[in-house]
Amino acid sequence: MGKRIVPALRYAILILVAIVMVGPFVWMFATSLKSQEEIFRTPPRWIPEHLTLANYERIVHVLPLGSMLLNSFTVAIGATVGQVLSCSLAAYAFARMRFRGKTTIYLLLLATMMLPGQVTMIPVFLIMRSLGLIDTLQALIVPAFFGGAFGTFLLRQFFATIPVELEDAARIDGCGRFRIFWRIFLPLSKPALATLALFTFMSYWNDLLGPVIYLSSTEKATLTVGLANLQSDIMTTRYDILMAGAVLSVLPILLLFLVGQRWFVRGITLTGLKQ
């Protein structure tokens, strides 16, 4: 009897946690299909009495939705490519190469994870200004090509699980360092690379502080900036339009996770099995 009760309780807790996690997204989607009057009706209703897609039509007229989506995709994809490329190169060096001070440099890199973003905000802004990248999307993309502590740590832990014999066999066949990295380590590390790509894409897609600091023109604004301005541009906050924009903002992340779910879960499971 006890063997049946414990799994039942476990599944009941998981279902309860899933409802708590999914509930806000269901409410957001339902609100985007309601009118402004129905949103404030008491008692509130999860299912709208009159479904309407008018909110999605209005947001196109309120915001330059096309350019904002394009800017968000440009920043998120460019930064993801930069992070995956630079972090994988650094992780390979820390996992496989031997050089003086490797442990010290690696520990210093991990220590930067404890620094809040506000510490580096002003120095990075001054660098971007000296390079003439203010009010350009490059100001948000270029820093991603210089690696990151989290991505380097994640990939380094995964690279450490790859058998040394594969690297030795490739070296006997005449492969150099970069070819071993490109032909062996990257193909075998697809789960970890997909995990890092998903985290990076989600971080830059949802970023609001960066675009607010570096971008000033409306035609270069991202979707997060548009949704933030939506609350101040309208005299009375239109939660129906705001929720429609939020749904459009969440959809790319949701689709990306559904497509790469297998690699994402596998990458989280396998990373860190070997120190």
pTM to 2 decimal places? 0.84
- What average pLDDT is seen over the chain? 86
* % of the chain residues with pLDDT over 70: 92
Token pair of 76 as six digits: 């998120």
* % of the chain residues with pLDDT over 90: 36
Q: Region 252-259: what's the mean pLDDT?
A: 84
When pLDDT is cut at 50, 70 and 90, the band that residue 236 belongs to is low
HEC-encoded secondary structure of the chain: CHHHHHHHHHHHHHHHHHHHHHHHHHHHHHHHCCCHHHHCCCCCCCCCCCCCCHHHHHHHHHCCHHHHHHHHHHHHHHHHHHHHHHHHHHHHHHHHCCCCCHHHHHHHHHHHHHCCHHHHHHHHHHHHHHCCCCCCCHHHHHHHHHCCHHHHHHHHHHHCCCCHHHHHHHHHCCCCHHHHHHHHHHHHCHHHHHHHHHHHHHHHHCCCHHHHHHCCCHHHCCHHHHHHHHHHHCCCCCHHHHHHHHHHHHHHHHHHHHHCHHHHHHHHHHCCCCC
Q: How far apart are CA 246 and CA 89, in angstroms?
A: 35
Which of the residue ranges 77-91, 199-213, 256-270 would you say has the lowest mean pLDDT?
A: 256-270
pLDDT at residue 241, rounded to an integer = 85
Residue 272 has pLDDT above 50, yes or no: no
Output Rg (C-alpha) for the chain, integer angstroms: 23
Most confident region among 15-29, 73-87, 118-132, 245-259 by mean pLDDT: 73-87
Residue at token pair 């279902």 = 15
Token pair of 273 as six digits: 């099995």
Q: Are 224 and 72 in contact (CB under 8 A)?
A: yes
Residue 260 has pLDDT above 60, yes or no: yes
Residue 217 has pLDDT above 60, yes or no: yes
Query: What contacts 144, CB < 8 A, 6 or more positions away?
Result: 78, 79, 80, 81, 82, 83, 86, 200, 204
Q: How far apart are CA 225 and CA 211, in angstroms?
A: 7
Q: Region 5-18: what's the mean pLDDT?
A: 88
pLDDT at residue 55, rounded to an integer = 86
pLDDT tens-digit map of 153-182: 999 988 988 888 888 888 888 888 889 999
Q: How far apart are CA 216 and CA 28, in angstroms?
A: 29
Query: What contacts 108, CB < 8 A, 6 or more positions away?
Result: none
pLDDT tens-digit map of 39-55: 877 787 778 877 888 88
Q: Which residue has the higher pLDDT, 112 or 259?
A: 112
Q: How far apart are CA 244 and CA 241, in angstroms?
A: 5
Domains of the chain in sequence order: 1-52 (no CATH), 58-270 (1.10.3720.10)
Q: How far apart are the first and last CA of the chain?
A: 41
Task: Sort 18 into a burial class: Cβ within 10 Å, 0-12 / 13-18 / 19+.
Answer: exposed
pLDDT tens-digit map of 48-96: 877 888 888 888 888 888 899 999 999 999 999 999 999 999 999 999 8
Q: How far apart are CA 175 and CA 217, in angstroms?
A: 49
